[in-house]
Chain A
Amino acid sequence: MAQEILKVVDIKKYFPIRSGIFRKEIGNVKAVDGVSFHLDQGEVLGVVGESGCGKSTTARTVIRLIEPTSGEIYWDGEDLLQYDSSQMNLFRQEVQMIFQDPYASLNPRKSVGESIGEGLLYHGLVENQEEMWDRVTEIMQQIGLSPDGAKRYPHQFSGGQQQRICIGRAIAMKPQLIVCDEAVSALDVSVQAQILNLLSDLKELLGLSYLFISHDLSVVNHISDRVLVMNDGKVVEEGTVDEVFESPQESYTQKLLAAIPRSHPRKVLK
């Protein structure tokens, strides 16, 4: 049995709605409303749901980019919400994130080598610039880019290559968990396949776990081991990929799966 690295118990995140000149709180939006799940070492947990169902907020809350309203989060068995700032600093190395739009998440004024190496210097994983560039070269090879490109700037790369750079920046920290928030949604299908393969290869090579958020059900079906189906801030269904996709129990999941376009014109659904 694989080791459990992340455990989330009944977390809630309510955003206040304020009104009037005193900004009085008149209600709240229940973005995440009692979500519980766990994630094992080396596992890929897919999170699916329609836009606005709270999947991104859940991901951000469990890694404390947003403080939860209530609930418990355990990282490697320790209570994450009790971490002090130095412990959080270490936690920030162990968990990395990849976003939907790679160009928006890279600094246009930094060469991609600097972007990848910045965290290494900040967290003291390398001693000096020279070591940093050696490590950057190594990472560029791992993500399938030529190390000559390290001195170039983000706009000189295609969308797929930029996403590779974002992945490189994440794995540079030697993380245990990577949160992929719609990481392949903005890419063309042939590039998307390359990135999905890269993510799978890196997972095997580095023993990573992914929290993989996507609205694209076929992508989640391909990459995940287990799936959470979310709706209105709640987990509707949870199970292994095969359970959820082959025999969905809840009516919401069935509705969601029935909406996937068929894969072949002759295949008649229903």
Chain B
Amino acid sequence: MPKPVLSVKDLVTPLQVGKNVYNVVDHVSFDLHLGKTLAIVGESGCGKSLTALSILRILPEPPCLPPQGEVLYKGQNLLTIPDKEMREIRGKNIAMIFQDPGSALNPVYTIGSQLLEVAELHLNLVGEEATERVIQALTEVGIPSPEERFFDYPHQLSGGMKQRVMIAMALMCEPDILIADEPTTALDVTIQKQVLDLMRDLQKRKGMAILLITHDMGVVAEMADEVVVMYTSQAIERGEVQAIFDQMAHPYTMGLFASRPDPTEKKKSLQPIRGTVPPLSEYPKGCRFHTRCPYVMPKCKEGEVPCFSIKNEGHETLCWLHDGTEESQEKWHKKS
């Protein structure tokens, strides 16, 4: 296995509410590899976006407290380096695109001048050279007649075009890592397909690592090599995309899949996960999913759940069903 370009180890992000401190990201670890895509999947409020913000150190502080753990990039821990060095890395080596391109672009500047800023700041280009680089970036993301679009304001572009501008901006410095936080959630399916195709194509050409944050299993199927499933601030399952889709091990992951409308089995009612996601202040003891889990056992209700490996390499889950005891085996086989 090649060395990862970014390695996140035991990342913890505390959030202060009044006098209480809750971990909104709770001991999450994963590795990013060049040319590969890792997807973080989960429902709203599970901490997937905060994981990304913690890596880039752009958390709202307060209410968040400085994250703990390790984010290793080129041998240094990004969580402990000075702000000035972090500013260099942010945007240049690690870039990010957001869900709503309309609010991520500045409405009072033309897209050209916003892109020029990146060229001047990170690439030390000026004048015509910078303009040329910007036009080239716009061409790469497939914007028609970039010389004219250069002078457009964000409101003159459609949502899909704005997202392309965001991608152009993020990729202009040829970063090692692209963090994409729900990049296509606000877009129509046809535009979503174009943007996903573009991201995949650019990844092939430039060989960067993508950290893709999404709630849509379809987008995961299209894009991901590896998947981390998050629930209530924890990473509850991790594995190769094939393993997650074929041999999902955690009951929550199974629930997510069963909730999706399946075109081959129509008219069958969907199998939603019962109950609701507990709020941050009321996470249950033991396994955080046990109150909603159909396979709950007495041992699930107390203490920390250890991480169990499953037969495929790199496939792990936080679930007692895989501890190998007779009780768990029985429950596991009863499910199918």
Q: Which residues of B contact A67 (CB under 8 A)?
A: none
Decide if A138 is an interface residue (CB 8 Å cutoff): no
Partner of B261, one of A190, A219, A255, A262: A219
Contact between B276 and A192, CB atoms less than 8 A apart: no
- Interface residue count on the A side (C-beta < 8 Å): 37
The docked-state distance in angstroms from the alpha carbon of A70 to that of B22 is 58
Q: Which residues of A contact B260 (CB under 8 A)?
A: 189, 193, 218, 263
The docked-state distance in angstroms from the alpha carbon of A189 to that of B262 is 13
| Contact-size category for B | 35 or more
Contact between A265 and B241, CB atoms less than 8 A apart: yes
The docked-state distance in angstroms from the alpha carbon of A261 to that of B183 is 14
Q: Which residues of A contact B190 (CB under 8 A)?
A: 50, 255-256, 259
**Minimum C-beta distance from A180 to chain B (A):** 15
Q: Closest B-chain residue to A257, C-beta based?
A: B189
Contact between A263 and B271, CB atoms less than 8 A apart: no
Decide if A158 is an interface residue (CB 8 Å cutoff): yes
Q: Which residues of B contact A255 (CB under 8 A)?
A: 190
Partner of A264, one of B245, B255, B256, B276: B245
- For B241-285 the 0/1 string (1 means CB < 8 A from A) is 110010000000001101111110010011111001100000000
Partner of B188, one of A51, A190, A221, A267: A51
With A215-B188, A221-B266, A256-B189: A191-B224 Cβ-Cβ less than 8 Å: no
The majority secondary structure among interface residues of chain A is: helix
Decide if A69 is an interface residue (CB 8 Å cutoff): no
A133-184 contacts to B, CB under 8 A, are 158, 160-161
Decide if A260 is an interface residue (CB 8 Å cutoff): yes
Interface residues of A (CB under 8 A from B): 50-51, 158, 160-161, 188-194, 196-197, 200-201, 215, 217-219, 221-223, 241, 245, 255-256, 258-267
Could you list 18 further interchain pairs (A-B, Cβ under 8 angstroms) beyond the known A259-B190, A263-B263? A158-B277, A189-B215, A191-B43, A193-B260, A193-B271, A196-B270, A215-B189, A223-B261, A261-B189, A261-B196, A261-B216, A261-B221, A262-B218, A262-B222, A263-B218, A265-B222, A266-B245, A267-B221
